[in-house]
Amino acid sequence: MEKRMTVSSQNFKNEDIQKLEEISEVNVYSCYQCGNCSASCPAFEFMDMPPHQVIRAVQLGFIDEILEANTPWICAACISCTVKCPRGVDIAKLMEGVRQVILRKGIDHLNINEIDKKLREQLPQIALIANFRKTIL
């Protein structure tokens, strides 16, 4: 489900956005919001922010919304989005950058055991394995 976001001057160039740009080295401003990344994402339906919206949020400086979303942890790093992007935006790398920013803050956003059992059974195995690697310390 898409989240509603309101732009204010406070959103732009905060420390976490700069850190994310440094870590990922992804130029999010190449994105023209075609949505191919989200359309190709196997985990799309389980994310509270689809990949194209994460990119848009970075462009607009909505770092809090990104850090609170389950999206970076649901992402299985399959790089389908990166392959399908007509603008060469490496979204998978950006997702890894988001995870790094969160991990460096020491914030845990997803407990695998709190995911509904039925949903857990439907999730791609690679998504669960990626989460074990990235969220269980």
One symbol per residue from 44 to 63: x for binding ligand SF4 (CB under 6 A), - otherwise; what is it?
Answer: -------xx--x--------
26 counts as binding ligand SF4 under rule CB under 6 A: no
Closest of 105, 93, 51 to residue 74, by C-alpha: 51
- Per the CB < 8 A criterion, the answer to whether 80 and 90 are in contact is no
Q: How far is the CB of 113 from ligand SF4 (least distance, A)?
A: 21
DSSP code of residue 127: H
Distance CA 69, CA 66 (A): 5
Contacting ligand SF4 (CB under 6 A), which of 20, 49, 77, 102?
Answer: 77
32 counts as binding ligand SF4 under rule CB under 6 A: yes
Please identify, using beta-carbon distances, which residue of 63 and 77 lies nearer to ligand SF4.
Answer: 77
Closest of 54, 53, 46 to residue 112, by C-alpha: 46
95 counts as binding ligand SF4 under rule CB under 6 A: yes
66 counts as binding ligand SF4 under rule CB under 6 A: no
Distance CA 20, CA 13 (A): 10
Distance CA 131, CA 112 (A): 7
43 counts as binding ligand SF4 under rule CB under 6 A: yes
Residues found near ligand SF4 in the complex (CB under 6 A): 31-37, 40-43, 51-52, 55, 75-81, 84-87, 89, 91-92, 95
